[in-house]
Amino acid sequence: MIQKNVINLIAVFENLVNDLIEYAKDNGVTLRFKSEFKEILDYNDADKVKEEFSTLIKNIINFTPDSQSVSVFLIKRNEKNISVEINNTGISLHRIRELVNDLKYYISVQETKELGTLFKITVPIKIESSMIMDSRLINENNLGFKPYYQEIKNKLTDYFKEIDNLQTAIDKQDQKQGVFLRKINTIISSRLDDNDFKVEALAAEMALSRTQLFRRMKALTKMSPSEYLLYFRLHVARDLLKTEQNGFNVSEVGYQVGFVSKSHFSRSFQKQFGLSPSYYRKMQR
């Protein structure tokens, strides 16, 4: 069932590309993402958008030769449209129309000078970017939130409930897989404040190759190991932000979960959940 909500298209596409980085590496291809904006709001179904473009990007990766690259750019054309531009190197795919037949958007495909292909997909947006969250919308007298903010708070509550239930759900489905995820969580928890703890270290502690860990985590959680590691850090940060009694400010919460700078932590939190750590803390009051 399609569930349309106000979404940040930049975050949707950036998360999609991050999900596919390991897939591209397994195919010997470098995958990159770039946008000239940090936020473009749209009234759409995030899962549907990711599903449509995931298939296209995977197909382009599959046809792209080893040691070449695929780049995804988001460009805002006007108040009503953005352009998703996907460029590959090493081979021209402009004659393979089947790659884009399933997309419902206006598409142009052209060969590039660097022996590659440029796919330009025009995506209509149904909400103006001027609706970006602005602290001026907050009632300064009582910090009460407008209905727009209350809707976000409700959605965040539902989202975090889903996160809390992930381990329980997997335990019920498959006890062996539940043990595997519990071990992953224990290892991450023990190294949570270590910014140098990356996927390679997690794979080593699990006695798995990077590829093996990717495949098992993706099948189990629908996330790559790097995405799950970030997801776990931000989930713990959310708990710390909810509890002001611990005495941690936003920067200190970031340090506690492995971020070395407040700006990096704030950007990651906002990309994942659609609002800054400071706003999230205010919404708990």
CA angle at residue 87 from 66 to 10, to 5 degrees? 115
Give start-end residues of each CATH 1.10.10.60 domain in the chain.
Answer: 133-283
Mean pLDDT by 10 residues, the chain (285 residues): 71 92 92 89 84 88 91 86 91 70 77 85 70 40 43 46 61 79 88 92 93 91 89 88 75 91 88 80 72
Residue 264 CA, chain-centre distance (Å), reads 15
pLDDT at 186: 87
The residues, ordered by sequence, that sit 6+ positions from 126 with a Cβ below 8 Å of its Cβ are 42, 43, 44
φ/ψ region of 221 (left if φ > 0, alpha if ψ in -120 to 50, else beta) reads alpha
Instruction: Give the side-chain half-sphere CA count within 13 A for 94.
Output: 14
H or E segment and range at residue 41: strand 41-44
What is the rounded CA–CA span in Å between residue 64 and residue 88? 7
pLDDT at 246: 61
pTM: 0.47
pLDDT at 167: 65
Which position has the token pair 């569930």? Answer: 3
Q: What is the architecture of the domain spanning 5-129?
A: 2-Layer Sandwich (3.30)
Give start-end residues of each CATH 3.30.565.10 domain in the chain.
Answer: 5-129
Find residue 44's DSSP bridge partners: 5
pLDDT at 86: 93
Q: Which amino acid, residue 167?
A: Q
pLDDT at 72: 96
Question: How many residues does the structure list for the chain?
Answer: 285
pLDDT at 100: 64
| Beta sheet of 106-112, edge-to-edge order | 30-35, 69-76, 81-89, 116-124, 106-112
Q: Does domain 133-283 have CATH number 1.10.10.60?
A: yes
What is the rounded CA–CA span in Å between residue 239 and residue 244? 10
